[in-house]
Chain A
Amino acid sequence: MTGSQGSAPRVRLVDVVKRFSDVTALEAVTLDVADGEFVTLLGPSGCGKTTLLRIVAGFERPSEGRVLLGGDDVTAAPPHRRPVNMVFQRPALFPHLDVAANVAFGPRIDGLSKAEIDRVVGEALALVQLDGFQHRRSHELSGGQMQRVALARAIVNRPQVLLLDEPLSALDLKIRLEMESELRRLHREIGGTFIYVTHDQREALALSDRIVVFNHGRIEQIGSPNDVYRRPASPFVARFVGDANVIPVEVSEGGAEPAEVAVGAHRFPAPSVDISGPAWLVLRPEVVRVRPPSGDGSLRGVVQDLSFRGTGHSYRVTVEDVPEPLKAEVSGGEAFAIGATVELTWEPEACRLLPRDPGAD
């Protein structure tokens, strides 16, 4: 709460390493979060994202590295001395207290007067649209309402950083979507810094200013949702964020403009890259077009499976020399039958090439 310097990032993690007895949960993670930013830590379970959040909250001590909040080193500070608040996966409301007393837990510790507590609790509940619920007990609330109370209980303390640990994962889809827009609104209204942990890439894309993709305790990519989706930095990110075809290809030498890419005997142009030799071609299913064979030398395949998606069809097309069937999301138009021979095309700019280590994978 003190010592925040205008220039220092709200949260700065420097080479944070966390080892549990025999496993390394985090390997030298360095990350800055700017004031007012909504940052999502995204990754599969066990990738270290929750551990990192708990290190920021103070529930875990990093094995190495430093944690700075507003320029102050808090690496050794216990949770109750950190100006951050957390919303847990389960609401974790205090069952012996009613809604108002739950929200008032922090303000009471801060020694606010009774009148002031009532005021800030009312404001916080209004922010999560639960004004008038003051005297409900937690077991009289729905799952979504409980999580709102948990949010109010955290934001009432005006934390420098609000930490959210998969707060929506226990909720039904419909409530989850509602709560997502609530969270966006809340972030706009209170203008705070949010760090959000999720394994749900859709949530991450919908909510964040910036996404930090984790895998095996390491940061795979940091970028805006648009960046991460359109310019994945690794095959892992491509596959984890959104659906993707990741195809092993060869980029021909010579730095041609545009580059030429070979899949088996088939060659096609791609955006120029400074890699040559083995590479990964990343293609989002929605950029792949499916058409009847025309004989102009486009990639050919056989429809292996299709399903109706309301706005169109989604195909799996087996292509010679490609290890996995290619996925294509096509809107409108006639459906091709299973077993039909089709041609697959895409704009050269729509694909992305990533270096591939021929030894691995």
Chain B
Amino acid sequence: MEHRQRAPIPTSITIAALLFLFVPLGLVVLFSFNSTGSLTFPFAGFSMRWYRQIAESPEFRSAVTNSAFVGLVVALVTLVLGTLAAYGLTRASTRWRTPIAVLLFLPLTLPGLFLGLSLLVLFARVEVTLSLATVAIAHLVYVTPYYLLIAVAALQRLDPALEEAGADLGGNGWLVFRRVTLPQVWPVLVSASCLAFALSFDEFIITFFVIGPDSTLPLFIFSTLRRTVDPSVNAISSLLLMITLALFAFAFLLTVRGARSRGLSIEPEALGSGSR
């Protein structure tokens, strides 16, 4: 006597909600290929002119280079420092563990405005000139908790007997980390690092406060929008979307592949936790 539970939300609402979310994205991408300067229907015809236009713009090029540079620095530094922090948080037996974890995860709950402003005040106070370096530092503060969420989850899920076996067989702490722990979790760590790159790459609010004379891609888009409204903005946004999607796809594949080659069933659920 089983009665199928009726879904509390009708399918039509689900579809409507999904359309609401994704149709604007589709339109932005579609009109980035529009052959006229119009941002709305009708779609005049397919053209790459807006992509060509931005590719030729030196401001755009420098913005992309800056964003990629900051993103890479942030991704690499989180990969190293974040992994160490996650390892400490999951393995150390100190009563400071919880307070430290709270502090490390706190930026998750802070509004970007607050983070940006307080970092700006700090940089002004210690008289650091605003530059891409300050942007990278600010992004690190913002990105680290997301990285930690994923890295800590991966390290916690690891069977503690593996590391114990490594130690038991004569490996000291560093050797066990290198030869037992890392081979299990590196795909997850690298994908988390990709996420760190993606988060940094399109960060706007905090960057707005702490950037110097340079520009990053999101700031460039913002300033372009204030000047002109033409499909080149669509083209830039579409590129940003593609880069982010590609990074996520790469991270996803890495996790799934890594798990499959080990005959494990690690679900890539951890990747979803940082998406916005």
Contacts and interface: CB of A to CB of B under 8 A. Distances in A.
Interface string B234-264: 0000000000000000000000000000111
A359 interface: no
B42 interface: no
Contacts of B180: 94
B184 interface: yes
A90 B164 CA distance: 12
B167 interface: yes
A79 B159 contact: no
B8 interface: no
Chain A interface size band reads: 20 to 34
A10 B159 CA distance: 30
A92 B161 contact: yes
A157 B170 CA distance: 9
A127 to B, nearest CB: 17
A97 B184 CA distance: 10
Contact of A92 (B159, B171, B172, B175): B159
A88 B175 CA distance: 20
Q: DSSP majority for the B interface?
A: helix
A86 interface: yes
A274 to B, nearest CB: 47
Q: DSSP majority for the A interface?
A: mixed
B172 to A, nearest CB: 5
B263 A157 contact: no
Nearest to A86: B168
A96 B179 CA distance: 10
B169 A153 contact: yes
A125 B149 CA distance: 41
B112 interface: no
B255 to A, nearest CB: 15
Interface stretch (A105-113, A279-287, A292-300): A105-113
Nearest to B172: A80
A85 B169 CA distance: 6
Contacts of B24: none
A78 interface: yes
Contact of B169 (A95, A106, A139, A140): A106
A58 B172 CA distance: 13
A138 B184 CA distance: 14
A154 B165 CA distance: 9
Contacts of A85: 168-169
B169 A88 contact: no
Contact of B184 (A57, A96, A105): A96
A79 B162 contact: no
Given A86-B165, A88-B165, A95 B264 contact: yes
B91 to A, nearest CB: 13
A59 interface: yes
B263 A138 contact: yes
A94 B165 contact: yes
Contact of A59 (B164, B172, B175, B183): B164
B260 to A, nearest CB: 10
Given A94-B180, A138-B263, A105 B164 contact: no
Contacts of A154: 168-169
Interface string B163-193: 0111111111001100110011000000000
A43 B165 CA distance: 24
Contacts of A90: 159, 161
Contacts of A106: 169-170
Of B176, B179, B184, most buried by chain A (CB within 10 Å of CB) is B179
Contact of B175 (A96, A109, A137): A109
Contact of A80 (B159, B170, B179, B264): B170
Contacts of A157: 169-170
A95 B262 contact: yes
A359 to B, nearest CB: 42
A110 B170 contact: yes
Interface string B132-173: 000000000000000000000000000101101111111110
Given A90-B161, A92-B159, A105 B166 contact: yes
Given A80-B172, A109-B175, A92 B263 contact: no
Contacts of B168: 57-59, 79-80, 84-86, 154
Nearest to B186: A96
B155 to A, nearest CB: 15
19 contacts: A59-B168, A79-B164, A80-B168, A80-B169, A80-B170, A85-B168, A88-B164, A89-B161, A90-B159, A95-B184, A95-B262, A105-B166, A105-B171, A106-B169, A109-B171, A139-B262, A139-B264, A153-B165, A157-B170
Given A59-B164, A90-B161, A95-B263, 8 more contacts: A59-B167, A80-B167, A80-B170, A80-B171, A94-B162, A94-B165, A96-B262, A154-B169
Closest 9 CB pairs of A and B: A139-B263, A92-B161, A96-B183, A106-B169, A95-B262, A79-B167, A109-B170, A92-B165, A88-B161
Interface of A: 57-59, 78-80, 84-86, 88-90, 92, 94-97, 105-106, 109-110, 137-140, 150, 153-154, 157
